[in-house]
């Protein structure tokens, strides 16, 4: 193992107690791929026997996310000193960069804080759980209509019937506390049916980043607390399902591809067709000469790791315009003399 990779392992391991990641905007404001570290730091080394779920919890990642990045690692048994991949780059969803964006295809939320004069632009990213196949999280544009700290949960009759049928009857109300499924904070959305972005109880904390809820969006306790104190009532919320994303960073075009959700089954040909449409959209309607091998692998492995498939030449300066400016400057200097 070379020195750079070893250093990366040590640094990421040290940062393992961090919560949600706040990404700085790319140097080119038109780029839409964000990076956590200046260099690639895509690994951590475990210091004890644990599970991939423990590591996901430590780095505020979802369960599906860390499992798909480590398809050769036993999720239930990660041995001491075993190397585990972590995400570094993310392609931002193809939406307006404002408010909250939930891409349920990747079990991940993006929050764009309002711009502040003199402050660099940023985006925050959080893992979250989404609705099951039979209780799907609705797509579309909505907004935060109410914020509640220490909410009580009043289980809808449909959910009470479901639990009763499984021999797990629910009370008519669950008071605030560690076993409240809403956790300590809830953001109510302007959607018919009591949909919320909320925390979780201690019993379901390892379900973050899975298709497991009754339609609500479930977050880690520290993440929902941070989001709760960051957003205001009226904040727009866009819920999308973008399995394949395309984005630019430093003149390289990246693809990020995720597995199908439960109840959705796409073929390779369908994913390829979607990818080619997104490539053309990102490149002014033109399909460039791509790295086909990398593209095919990304659409087959579906590990959610952004990879570059094309590099364009950087914009060249307009030499005639530059020469004209220099001549004008020389003439101006001559007149001053």
Phi, psi (degrees; rounded to nearest 5) at 265: -135, 110
Euclidean distance between CA atoms 297 and 277, whole angstroms = 18
Q: Which residues contact 150 (CB under 8 A, 6 or more apart)?
A: 176, 184
3-state secondary structure of 173: coil
Q: Are 81 and 46 in contact (CB under 8 A)?
A: yes
Residue numbers annotated as active site: 198, 216
Structure tokens at 112: 């764009």
What count of other Cβ atoms lies within 10 Å of the Cβ of residue 156? Answer: 13
Buried b (16+ CB within 10 A) or exposed e, 299-334: beebbbbbbbbbeeeeeeeeeeeeeeeeeeeeeeee
């Amino acid at each position: 193992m070379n020195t750079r990779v070893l250093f990366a392992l040590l640094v990421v391991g040290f940062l393992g107690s961090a919560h949600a990641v706040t990404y700085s905007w790319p140097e080119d404001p038109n780029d839409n791929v964000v990076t956590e570290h200046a260099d690639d730091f895509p690994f951590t080394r475990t210091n004890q026997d644990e599970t991939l779920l423990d590591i996901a919890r430590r780095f505020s990642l979802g369960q599906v996310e860390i499992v798909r990045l480590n398809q050769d690692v036993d999720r239930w048994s990660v041995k001491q000193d075993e190397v585990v991949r972590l995400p570094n780059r993310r392609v931002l969803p193809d939406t307006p960069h404002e408010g909250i964006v939930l891409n349920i295809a990747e079990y991940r939320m993006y929050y764009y804080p309002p711009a502040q004069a003199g402050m660099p632009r940023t985006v925050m990213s959080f893992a979250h759980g989404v609705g099951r196949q039979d209780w799907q999280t609705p797509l579309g544009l909505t907004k935060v209509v109410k914020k509640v700290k220490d909410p009580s949960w009043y289980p809808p009759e449909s959910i009470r019937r479901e639990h009763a049928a499984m021999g797990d009857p629910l009370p008519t109300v669950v008071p605030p506390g560690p076993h409240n499924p809403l956790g300590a904070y809830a953001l109510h959305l302007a959607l018919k049916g009591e949909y919320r972005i909320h925390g979780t109880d201690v019993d379901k904390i390892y379900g973050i980043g899975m298709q497991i809820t009754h339609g609500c969006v479930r977050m880690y306790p520290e993440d929902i607390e941070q989001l709760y104190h960051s957003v205001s009532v009226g904040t727009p919320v866009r819920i999308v399902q973008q399995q394949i994303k395309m984005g630019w960073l430093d003149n390289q075009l990246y693809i990020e591809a995720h597995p199908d959700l439960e109840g959705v089954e796409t073929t390779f040909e369908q994913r390829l067709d979607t990818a080619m449409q997104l490539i053309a959209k990102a490149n002014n309607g033109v399909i460039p000469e791509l790295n086909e091998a990398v593209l095919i692998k990304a659409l087959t492995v579906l590990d959610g790791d952004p990879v570059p498939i094309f590099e364009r030449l950087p914009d060249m300066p307009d030499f005639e315009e530059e020469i004209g400016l220099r001549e004008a400057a020389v003439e101006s200097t001559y007149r001053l003399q």
